[in-house]
Chains A and B, each alone.
Chain A
Amino acid sequence: MKRLQTDVVVIGGGSTGIGVLRDCAMRGYRTILLDRADLAQGTSGRFHGLLHSGGRYVVSDPESATECASENAILTRIQPEAVERTGGLFVVTDKDDPQFGDRFLAGAAVTGVPAEEITVAQALAREPRLNPAIQRAFAVQDGTVDGWQIAWTATASARQYGGQALTYHEVTQVHHDGSQVTGVTATDLKTGETVSIDCHFVLNCAGPWAGRITHMAGLPPVAVVPGRGIMVAMSHRLVNTVINRCIYPADGDIIVPIHTVCVIGTTDHKVTDPDHLEIPRQEVQQMLDAGEDLIPGFRQARAVHAWAGARPLIKDDRVAASDTRHMSRGMAVIDHSTRDGVHGMLTIGGGKLTTYRLMAEHIVDAMEEQLGTPHPCRTAEEICPGNEAGHNYLITHRLKQREADRMESPIICECELVNRSMLVQLLTEQPQASFDDLRRQLRIGMGPCQGGFCTSRVAGIAHEQQVIDEARATGLLKLFLEHRWIGLWPILNGDQVRQTALDNWIMEGTLDIAHLPSPDDVEPDPLAPMSPDPRTTDPTSTTSPSPDPTANPEVSSRSTTTTNRRARGTRAASKETK
């Protein structure tokens, strides 16, 4: 057993937890973050990639809109490599109410979100695939953001201040003596070792899993109601600007061009188990229909992958209004000292990636208030490591790099332009990485072929580097293909069927991988990626609800509750019901 001492333990390695780790470390606290999986493997890696301009909230949630606008500018500055400044458009389709555009502009003016109306012709000139029947268009400063890049560079920043992030460490116990938190016990899932950490404060940033942590601590239950949303990635950028439907926030109202793909999202359904998120066929159909409204011919484009994320909604009537007075809109903080009489623990729910830094600031402020040791927050000023050049991401970056080094290192993943030296460097740094861990950092297997060509190369190189033995190489290869399939089979149609047939010919036909020996439990697999629950999946249903929220009362009411979809807390929820 390993024993560690620290000031603060952060549970959860999503954007919120990582932001908190960084902020605590910068304010001088010894801080350890624990996650049972990889960094940003849950909700923070399972969204559509939008860096909000605030435009989405100017009507429904003005306070969030203002926060998004300022945090957008801050992230673009402190983590520029994770951000692409694509710009965004809000468009009123022929099915939408053009009057909403007036409310949109008025809301933008009040909230300070930059927005300007442009002509339909200008919008079509900028994005030729847009539905030519749109009635109005507004330009905003939406961008795209890579949640994994945000996580790693913020973690790197935290490390410079002594913060530690222990991934694949599952928390098994939260200790307190009835009035004060004393520590946390975790299991290192990769080695099986028990790690015991003494601390004064626990920040529960487990998102959709936060209720499990409070349960583990023996505290009164915290009601976590995860909201599942699906996203569908198309094989290339049908648009180079974020396209929002200019309506009250609803399902399938956004297309985000990020890296080599564009992503349409999303839906919102309450679920009970965030470990098992299905990707129902009817929701995929709903996304394709919504895409068709914005980009005619969307259905004929090539869908390559789908995924589901869980919004971390906490509903808890016992939270006092005072608990959230420092808090960002859309965030709920449960102070277990006032609620349960146990000092040294806060549970955080809600949040959205764009405002992760601000949320962290508020949470750490709340912690310091309880501790009585205030320090200024400097996370908005300091640029995260690896971003010193100050360049924002461009889709052409990798192409330029490969043009420069193509005579030095072979390209291992043609879809995403990953070369051998990138892979070898990461394998050296992270010898225990699964191929999914590598994927989140390099994007291997995320392009049109979905790993059909690169996976066996990754296995060969990892083995050659003596990072893994042949059984683990084969096991990781199989596991990676199984995981890719989770997001592939629900959207399989058109050219992706053709690709899958070729991939199967290679993997099963030519290489016959199924008959290669490999261990059954090659890798701890806490939620990576989340598996669909076959018992609840209905692959036969292809009916989709009307995209018009006014046409269907059920959809309409859901749209209302979706107002603050990734960011609802007690205060937000109570406001909405007014």
Chain B
Amino acid sequence: MTDTIIVGAGLSGLSAAIRLAQAGAKVTLFTFGLGGIQLGQGTIDVLGYSLAGSRPTPADTAITDPFAAMSQHLTGHPGHPYATVPLASIRDSVDWLAALVPDLLTPGDGVNHMVPTALGGLRPTYLIQPSMTWSNPSSIAVVSPRQIKDFYPRLAAANLTKTAHVDAHGYHIDLPARPGEVDSSPVAYATALDRSDFARRFVELVANAIADEEVIGLPAILGLHPDTAESIARALGRPVVEFLLPPPSVPGMRLNVALTQRAKDLGVRVVIGSKVTGFTSAGAKVTGVVVAQAGRDQTYPCDHVVYAPGGFESGALTMDSYGGVRETLFDLPVVGATAEDLITGDYWADQRLFACGVAVDSAMTPLDVLGQPIYTNLHAVGGLLAGAVRWTEKSGDGIAITSAVRAADAIVSPGVTPTTNERTR
């Protein structure tokens, strides 16, 4: 039995933990916070846009088949995280994840879905939650409680008429998540809507507010429980679609809860509030990680480490006031960090800083500047990896899952992992 420590509880950390536990490994996951899934949109992106370095404009066409588009995308983006894995493994990995939470993610059918955003755009993504199905309706009623400050149904509807060529109307209802509140968070609504009495009032008010539109659009607040959205749709008697909101993301929380539970069910020990602040090593092996705990630091020995701390957004990658870019725990070399113009004055350009990260081989082992593994039993995954500005191309989730699966498989069966990129064969 192998003893693996995972650092980080986002999509890549949880995916690696589950994959390893499924293979019988003994896994401990340390995380400082609750992971990044609930800061995202709660769907699984693989590849939504391939802009070849140009600024995004409303004229861009979203990618329909991300797997078919991948090869060309990688040609234009050398050093991309997807280029370190066999292309077939991307779809396999994402399908594997979807099967873990069948109630929550619709199975992938090879093409991107378009999902509506709070501002009334349609955004490409690969795996969606069933409550986000956009069925190209001819008309839609966009409805929201007035007390939600991150969703304005009239603006969403007005933009949707242009972006989705749908007859869209915006409506407000008056329903605080808790009595007297004027400023209720999506999470407060989700918690309330999981209760049948509140859900009934919600349904009643929505039904009274709208006309005879074909579909009802609602902010993504329809319960933390995976069944809540469906029961609300049933009560309303019309298809319902959830619109993506800024964080905290209720769909992201659903996914986070489900994956964390899955990991725990498989025997993964999840230790939250535990910042990993250091490590011990012997030669080319990491022998343990140091965790900051109440009163003292504690060193936990391990055979393998999957390092899944995220990128700049989590603070795992930093840039100091002199422009020095660092990886903060293992001091791994950061690819691209010494380039000129890491940040430019064009807001819409991809800032090269945010493509900086750690370079890895196909087993997700971090590489030094000469391309040699630094620690043979350390695997870096997810947002830490160099080579992509994930928010513009909409690829962060696929990179997280694929790299986590590769790392886990390399730990479980070291010999099986191909060491060269099959794409180039």
Q: Chain A interface (Cβ within 8 Å of chain B)?
A: 285, 288, 299-300, 303, 406-412, 420, 453, 456-457, 459-461, 463-464, 469-470, 473-474, 477, 481-482, 485-486, 489-490, 492-495, 497-498, 500-502, 504-506, 508-518, 531-532, 534, 537, 539-540, 542
Contacts and interface: CB of A to CB of B under 8 A. Distances in A.
A417 B225 CA distance: 33
A408 B323 CA distance: 45
Interface stretch (B73-81, B229-237, B345-353): B345-353
**Which of A461, A474, A477, A511 has the most CB atoms of chain B within a 10 A radius of its CB?**
A511
B40 A470 contact: no
Contacts of B39: 502, 505
Interface size class of B (residues with CB under 8 A): 35 or more
Given A497-B319, A504-B391, A513-B121, A518 B152 contact: no
Contact of B147 (A285, A410, A411): A410
A344 B109 CA distance: 77
11 contacts: A299-B320, A456-B246, A457-B149, A459-B155, A460-B155, A486-B345, A492-B319, A494-B321, A511-B244, A514-B56, A539-B340
B387 to A, nearest CB: 16
A516 B392 CA distance: 13
Interface in B2-45: 39-41
A461 B152 contact: yes
B92 interface: no
Contact of B182 (A410, A457, A508, A534): A410
Contacts of B180: 407
A504 B354 contact: yes
Contacts of A474: 119, 159
Contacts of B246: 453, 456, 506, 510-511
Contacts of A409: 182
Interface in B89-136: 117-121, 123
Contact of A509 (B119, B163, B348, B390): B390
B318 interface: yes
B311 A501 contact: yes
Interface in B161-185: 162-163, 180-183
Nearest to A479: B347
A470 B56 contact: no
**Which of A288, A500, A506, A518 has the most CB atoms of chain B within a 10 A radius of its CB?**
A506
Contact of B158 (A412, A469, A504, A534): A469
Given A460-B152, A489-B343, A539-B343, A514 B392 contact: yes
A45 to B, nearest CB: 20
B307 interface: no
A489 B341 CA distance: 11
A505 B313 CA distance: 9
Contacts of B239: none
Given A459-B119, A502-B313, A514-B56, A406 B319 contact: no
A460 B40 contact: no
Given A511-B118, A512-B117, 4 more contacts: A463-B155, A493-B323, A505-B39, A512-B394
Contacts of B162: 470, 517
Interface of B: 39-41, 55-58, 60, 62, 117-121, 123, 147, 149-152, 154-155, 158-159, 162-163, 180-183, 244-247, 249, 311-315, 318-323, 340-341, 343-345, 347-348, 351, 353-354, 390-392, 394, 396
A457 B396 CA distance: 26
B12 to A, nearest CB: 15
A511 B155 contact: no
B395 to A, nearest CB: 10
Contact of B155 (A288, A303, A473, A509): A473
Contact of B312 (A473, A497, A517): A497
Nearest to B159: A470
Nearest to B249: A510
A493 B320 CA distance: 5
Contact of B163 (A299, A486, A516, A534): A516
A517 B343 contact: no
Nearest to A468: B155
**Which of A300, A459, A516 has the most CB atoms of chain B within a 10 A radius of its CB?**
A516
A504 B343 CA distance: 14
Contacts of A539: 340-341, 343-344
Contacts of B62: 515
A226 B174 CA distance: 54
A463 B158 contact: yes
B155 A515 contact: no
**Which of B56, B155, B394 has the most CB atoms of chain A within a 10 A radius of its CB?**
B155
B43 to A, nearest CB: 10
Q: Closest 5 interchain pairs by CB?
A: A460-B152, A509-B391, A470-B158, A410-B183, A514-B56
Nearest to A281: B323
**Which of B119, B244, B353 has the most CB atoms of chain A within a 10 A radius of its CB?**
B119
B151 A510 contact: no
Given A463-B158, A513-B119, A494 B150 contact: no
Contacts of A498: 312-315, 318
Contacts of B245: 510
A493 B39 CA distance: 21
Contact of A482 (B247, B347, B394): B347
B151 A460 contact: yes
B182 A407 contact: yes
Nearest to A420: B149
A515 B118 contact: no
A501 B313 contact: yes
A504 B345 CA distance: 15
Given A406-B183, A460-B151, A470-B120, A506 B247 contact: yes
B319 to A, nearest CB: 5
Contact of B345 (A461, A500, A534): A534
Nearest to A452: B246
A485 B347 CA distance: 6
Contacts of A406: 182-183
A463 B154 contact: yes
Contacts of B312: 497-498, 500-501
Given A407-B180, A470-B159, A510-B41, A457 B347 contact: no
A456 B345 contact: no
Contacts of A500: 312
Contacts of A285: 321-322
